[in-house]
Amino acid sequence: MKTPDINAVIAQFDALPYEEKEVAAEIIRKAYAEAAREMLASRAKQAVRDLKAGKVKRGGVKELRKDLEG
């Protein structure tokens, strides 16, 4: 299935009556929020994997400053 480009999506949106634009905008806002949640969950899972694999350091501000100076 071919994905429409952003210009085609905008043109189709512009052609909608006002009431349908409201509905479409709400659907898009909800879809965007869900995509953001999924991205955050994915990043959190990767952070846990990195922590378990020893790829990250733990500590506070003092340790961070020490690492940045060294």
- The predicted-structure confidence for 19-67, as pLDDT tens digits, reads as follows 999 999 999 999 999 999 999 999 999 999 999 999 988 889 999 899 8
* DSSP structural state of residue 44: H
User: pTM to 2 decimals?
Assistant: 0.67
Our count of domains for the chain comes to 1
59 conformational bin, left if phi > 0, alpha if psi -120 to 50, beta if neither: left
Structural domain boundaries, residue 21: 6-69
The pLDDT of residue 12 is 96
* Any domain includes 65: yes
Report the SS3 class of residue 5. Answer: coil
Per the domain annotation, does 1 fall within a domain? no
Residue 1 has pLDDT above 80, yes or no: no
Structure tokens at 44: 């959190």
Continuous segment of H or E residues that includes residue 63: helix 61-69
Task: Give me the pLDDT at residue 50, please.
Answer: 96
Burial (CB < 10 A; 0-12, 13-18, 19+), residue 24, is middle
